[in-house]
Chains A and B, each alone.
Chain A
Amino acid sequence: MAMNDQTERQDTAAPAIELKGISKSFGPVQANKDISISVRPGTIHGIIGENGAGKSTLMSILYGFYKADRGEIFINGKKTEIPDSQAAIAAGIGMVFQHFKLVENFTVLENIILGAEDGGLLKPSLAKARKSLIELEREYGLNVDPDAVIQDIGVGKQQRVEILKALYRQAEVLILDEPTGVLTPAEADQLFRILGRLRDEGKTIILITHKLREIMDITDTVSVMRRGEMTATVKTSETSPEQLAELMVGRKVLLRVDKVPAKPGKPVLEIENLKVTDEKGVARLKGIDLTVRAGEILGIAGVAGNGQSELLEVLGGMRRGEGTIRLNGEPLALDGPNSDGRARRTQGVAHVPEDRQREGLIMDFHAWENVAFGYHLDASYRRGPFMDNTALRRDTEAKMKKFDVRPPDPWLTAKNFSGGNQQKIVVAREIERNPDLLLVGQPTRGVDIGAIEFIHNEIVALRDQGKAILLVSVELEEIFSLADRIAVMFDGHIMGERLPNETDEKELGMLMAGMSGEAA
């Protein structure tokens, strides 16, 4: 490969994107502080940082969604004003959002010309688009059928349609915001191959992510953001995951969880032929069999939307189902008044839900009110006909101290805590109840690395006390580092169970994509 040749060309050429001194505040929060970044053309430039570090704000400024309070944008060395996304597109910038912006019942082709039609009549636009689409596909190996309807194709392909949309609008710079969140490992690899090819063809790519592995795998340069500031820009080949993590958090972090091997005891949770149908009549769980033993963590891996949420909800009493579940040998109700969250809690099931902002916490409640949430009828919180608010606040202070919630102020409303501290409040509430079974959904989604370490250690500590833990996570890394046994879900079925030290991401990825273990 003509590596030398390439670097030379890049060093002399003007940066594809250059931001100088960008600052942006939302009210009292400064999301971006004096950020400067220079992206060389024909490279993949990663931007990594924790949630709330300001990555998305920076990209939104570049794409014209926000106006910077201060600072300048240069494109190909020329100072450019980007007041809206139309201007960004005109300047050759394309964006692929985390949540796709596609019309579900349109075809690929119709989605691509949407907003870029040539005139009132569709036919000529469609014909023209079809021609250039075929060229683009040939050039970059995107492999999407132009006449397929969006809702019939997988997420991986939908994402490629988003990329095609940008390319069709002549984007020279592609921004991808957390592109692998919804993909299986195999789909992610495919995406990375496409991105590599786009770079080789001279496109510039900015990849926003919080996953260290992706940065190490495909970027040429990486910029690290922390609390609205750009802390470093380094060549990927000259750095390591440990160094990046430290730059992101501002202190040394342990990337792997320290834990002793599990000592599984008697079965705590037994699930037999569990079926769930949702409000629309769609079968979400199609006969699940699982066992979780005392003193072990069972990790459920899978791409989001394959029934994991429904599994947690039915076990946590938020949803009805059919089949049998037993806790310590006693059957739990799947229907009727004894199947709700309160009944589950009294039976010894604690639940850290997937969506802490909608379910796990009431965002407008004070911290101390949230510490009672779900346990608010508990006798210890009761004084006559009233709630014992004083006892509650005392309890909250103790839990905040033990779980290092910052700031440790029971009067603060939940929405004023950071994601990590919100999650610590939920985890503290659920773990401190000393449950027999802990259900955990996406425990570290939107949580900063420092808090991830803490939460993981708490979960492992609970396991070591001989409790059963069912963990659902779409982050394979998290499953690998926490689970003692891994079950893979696909389309409402369990595709298979594996031991973490006897499998790898590739095999799990096949199972997550619905290919059975034998075929894989």
Chain B
Amino acid sequence: MDVMPKWAEVVLVPLISLLLAAILSALVILAIGEDPIAAVQLMVQGALGSTYGWGYTLYYATNFMFTGLAVAVAFHAKMFNIGGEGQAMLGGLGVALACLYFPWPHWSLALIAATVGAALFGAAWAAFPAYLQAKRGSHIVITTIMFNFIAAAVLNYMLVNVLRPEGSMDPATERFSPTVHLPTLHEILAPFGIQFSKAAPANFSLLVAIAACILVWALIWRTRLGYEIRAYGFSEPGARYAGISPTRIIMISMLISGGLAGLMAINNVMGEAERLVLNATEGAGFIGIAVALMGRSHPLGVFLAAILFGFLYQGGAELALWTSIPRELIVVIQALVILFTGALDNMVRMPLESLFLRYRKGRS
């Protein structure tokens, strides 16, 4: 018998964790002599109070959806892919190559090519650690994190020595052709009579990310491959008994995971910067871990958690802009959210479980 009803498990636990993180953050803000209530107001106003704010919140959320899904898929196979950062960087390379070297007549074709390029490059980058895990038993956590550094170096080399336009001092590619420009939310919503901020970077990739959420859900809970991935994740001896090849599951789940992380690049590289710059991923690969943890590796959870972290990112940027709260403190607040929703899950769960038990006993 499950101790808690499902709604408590999926709604109450994260909400209480979030509340605890918020209270602790408020105390920290108090301690440096600022007003936490005003800070919250500013964050909400900055992130959700205007279409400009929403545009940024959703832009960040799009990144986190991709990287969160990446971690979630690997989690289902009990693989801890913390190489999302590197896979997203390489995804950026895939997008840049697809956009730079072919004269696409229309953005939709370019998007398909960029999607394929991003997924392929991200998956290829995940393939090495996956192979090492499947065949050599090298721990995926160690190898994926090392591959993040290698990815950064590869990107650096490519930008400085190969892709940098002649005469430019900036380690970045040249700007993509205007024909591959992805429609922003402003352009998408205008025909419906909705006025959305022109300056905000949220773009068509958001829809791709939502589609990815739905596809991942179908993959994990409706297909036979998803069944095998989950079975392997729960019990390796069980998988061997059922004739599910561990090598195959490790490879496939990591390729999908790497591909999803790579897809982030269609948002930040193709949709926002419209060129590939150094350090374009800005840590989104790591935020994906927190997003997947908080979202319980379920696409709907990932979707919601990604929006929450998008809010924290944008609200935090506003806070840094308009108050004397230093930017580092924003990172502290984000870290508290990660700590409470991800790592300290049991701290909330256990008391809540015993509370439910007592309630149930009282009734029966």
Complex contact A28–B237 (CB within 8 A): no
Complex contact A28–B223 (CB within 8 A): no
Q: Does A351 touch B at the CB level, under 8 Å?
A: yes
Instruction: From B224, B238, B353, name the one whose CB has the most chain A CB atoms within 10 angstroms.
Output: B238
Within A364-382, the residues touching B (CB, 8 Å) are: 364-365, 369, 372-374, 376-377, 382
Q: Does A119 touch B at the CB level, under 8 Å?
A: no
Task: Encode contact with B along A327-367: 1 for CB under 8 Å, 0 otherwise.
Answer: 00000000000001111110000010101001111111100
Task: Encode contact with A along B152-167: 1 for CB under 8 Å, 0 otherwise.
Answer: 0000000000000000
Name the A residues within 8 Å of B235 (CB-CB).
358-359, 362-363
Q: Does B146 touch A at the CB level, under 8 Å?
A: no
Complex contact B234–A363 (CB within 8 A): yes
Complex contact B234–A386 (CB within 8 A): no
**In whole Å, how far is B72's beta carbon from the nearest beta carbon of chain A?**
16
Known: A27-B3, A364-B234, A365-B234. A353 touches B227 (CB 8 A): no
Q: Does A387 touch B at the CB level, under 8 Å?
A: yes
A344's partner among B2, B224, B243, B245 (CB-CB below 8 A) is B243
Q: Is the interface of B mostly helix, strand, loop or mixed?
A: helix
CA distance A365 to B235 in the complex (A): 11
Q: Does A416 touch B at the CB level, under 8 Å?
A: yes
Name the B residues within 8 Å of A344 (CB-CB).
243
Name the B residues within 8 Å of A377 (CB-CB).
224
Name the B residues within 8 Å of A365 (CB-CB).
230-231, 234
CA distance A122 to B223 in the complex (A): 62
Name the B residues within 8 Å of A385 (CB-CB).
223
Name the A residues within 8 Å of B357 (CB-CB).
27-28
Number of interface residues of A (CB under 8 A): 34
Q: Does A316 touch B at the CB level, under 8 Å?
A: yes
Q: Is the interface of A mostly helix, strand, loop or mixed?
A: loop
**In whole Å, how far is B88's beta carbon from the nearest beta carbon of chain A?**
28
Complex contact A341–B243 (CB within 8 A): yes
Q: Does B142 touch A at the CB level, under 8 Å?
A: no
Task: Encode contact with A along B30-69: 1 for CB under 8 Å, 0 otherwise.
Answer: 0000000000000000000000000000000000000000
Name the A residues within 8 Å of B241 (CB-CB).
316, 318, 341, 351, 353, 359-360, 374
Complex contact B227–A376 (CB within 8 A): yes
Q: Does A15 touch B at the CB level, under 8 Å?
A: no
**In whole Å, how far is A520's beta carbon from the nearest beta carbon of chain B?**
36
Complex contact B222–A373 (CB within 8 A): no
Q: Does B360 touch A at the CB level, under 8 Å?
A: yes
Q: Does A42 touch B at the CB level, under 8 Å?
A: no
Within B216-233, the residues touching A (CB, 8 Å) are: 218, 222-224, 227-228, 230-231
CA distance A340 to B223 in the complex (A): 21
Question: Closest residue to A372 on the B side, CB-wise?
Answer: B227
Q: Does B242 touch A at the CB level, under 8 Å?
A: yes
Complex contact A359–B231 (CB within 8 A): no
Within A489-505, the residues touching B (CB, 8 Å) are: none
Q: Does B1 touch A at the CB level, under 8 Å?
A: yes
B224's partner among A361, A364, A376, A416 (CB-CB below 8 A) is A376
Complex contact B242–A342 (CB within 8 A): yes
Q: Does A317 touch B at the CB level, under 8 Å?
A: yes
Known: A362-B231, A376-B228. A318 touches B240 (CB 8 A): yes
Complex contact A387–B223 (CB within 8 A): yes
Name the A residues within 8 Å of B2 (CB-CB).
416
Question: Closest residue to B354 on the A side, CB-wise?
Answer: A27
Complex contact B243–A28 (CB within 8 A): no
**In whole Å, how far is B78's beta carbon from the nearest beta carbon of chain A?**
12
**In whole Å, how far is A435's beta carbon from the nearest beta carbon of chain B?**
14
Question: Closest residue to A342 on the B side, CB-wise?
Answer: B243
B238's partner among A28, A340, A359 (CB-CB below 8 A) is A359
CA distance A355 to B237 in the complex (A): 9
Complex contact A386–B237 (CB within 8 A): no
Complex contact B243–A317 (CB within 8 A): yes
Complex contact B231–A373 (CB within 8 A): yes
Name the A residues within 8 Å of B237 (CB-CB).
318, 355, 358-359
Name the A residues within 8 Å of B1 (CB-CB).
28, 416
Name the B residues within 8 Å of A376 (CB-CB).
224, 227-228, 231, 242
**In whole Å, how far is A270's beta carbon from the nearest beta carbon of chain B?**
22
Complex contact A343–B231 (CB within 8 A): no
Task: Encode contact with A along B237-251: 1 for CB under 8 Å, 0 otherwise.
Answer: 110111111000000
CA distance A354 to B324 in the complex (A): 65
Question: Closest residue to A355 on the B side, CB-wise?
Answer: B237
Within A381-411, the residues touching B (CB, 8 Å) are: 382, 385-387, 389
B245's partner among A316, A340, A386 (CB-CB below 8 A) is A340
Known: A351-B241, A386-B222. A369 touches B234 (CB 8 A): no
Known: A317-B243, A358-B237, A360-B241. A28 touches B3 (CB 8 A): yes
**In whole Å, how far is A136's beta carbon from the nearest beta carbon of chain B?**
41
Name the B residues within 8 Å of A358 (CB-CB).
235, 237-238
Question: Closest residue to A381 on the B side, CB-wise?
Answer: B224
Name the B residues within 8 Å of A372 (CB-CB).
227
Complex contact B224–A362 (CB within 8 A): no
**In whole Å, how far is B256's beta carbon from the nearest beta carbon of chain A?**
15
Within A244-266, the residues touching B (CB, 8 Å) are: none
Question: Closest residue to A382 on the B side, CB-wise?
Answer: B224
Complex contact A387–B245 (CB within 8 A): no
CA distance A317 to B241 in the complex (A): 7
**In whole Å, how far is A432's beta carbon from the nearest beta carbon of chain B?**
16
**In whole Å, how far is A7's beta carbon from the nearest beta carbon of chain B?**
45
Within B236-282, the residues touching A (CB, 8 Å) are: 237-238, 240-245
Complex contact B3–A345 (CB within 8 A): no
Name the A residues within 8 Å of B234 (CB-CB).
362-365
Name the A residues within 8 Å of B230 (CB-CB).
362, 365
Complex contact A387–B3 (CB within 8 A): no
A361's partner among B218, B238, B243 (CB-CB below 8 A) is B238
Complex contact B238–A362 (CB within 8 A): yes
**In whole Å, how far is B190's beta carbon from the nearest beta carbon of chain A?**
37
CA distance A389 to B218 in the complex (A): 13
Complex contact B222–A387 (CB within 8 A): yes
**In whole Å, how far is A384's beta carbon from the nearest beta carbon of chain B?**
10
Name the A residues within 8 Å of B227 (CB-CB).
369, 372, 376, 387
Name the A residues within 8 Å of B353 (CB-CB).
27
Complex contact B242–A341 (CB within 8 A): yes
Question: Closest residue to A383 on the B side, CB-wise?
Answer: B222
Name the A residues within 8 Å of B224 (CB-CB).
376-377, 382, 386-387
Complex contact A345–B223 (CB within 8 A): no
CA distance A340 to B241 in the complex (A): 8
CA distance A377 to B248 in the complex (A): 15
**In whole Å, how far is A310's beta carbon from the nearest beta carbon of chain B?**
13
List 25 A-B residue pairs with CB atoms under 8 Å apart, sorted by A's residue number.
A316-B241, A318-B240, A318-B241, A340-B243, A340-B245, A341-B241, A341-B242, A341-B244, A358-B237, A359-B240, A360-B241, A361-B238, A362-B231, A365-B231, A365-B234, A373-B238, A374-B241, A374-B242, A374-B243, A376-B224, A386-B222, A387-B222, A387-B223, A387-B224, A387-B227
A376-B227, A386-B224, A416-B1 given; name 16 further pairs at CB < 8 Å. A28-B1, A318-B240, A318-B241, A340-B245, A341-B244, A344-B243, A359-B235, A359-B237, A360-B241, A363-B234, A365-B231, A365-B234, A373-B238, A373-B242, A376-B242, A387-B227
Using a CB–CB cutoff of 8 Å, the interface residues on chain A facing chain B are 27-28, 316-318, 340-345, 351, 353, 355, 358-365, 369, 372-374, 376-377, 382, 385-387, 389, 416
Using a CB–CB cutoff of 8 Å, the interface residues on chain B facing chain A are 1-3, 218, 222-224, 227-228, 230-231, 234-235, 237-238, 240-245, 353, 357, 360-361
Which 4 pairs between the two chains have the least Cβ-Cβ distance? A342-B243, A341-B243, A374-B242, A359-B241
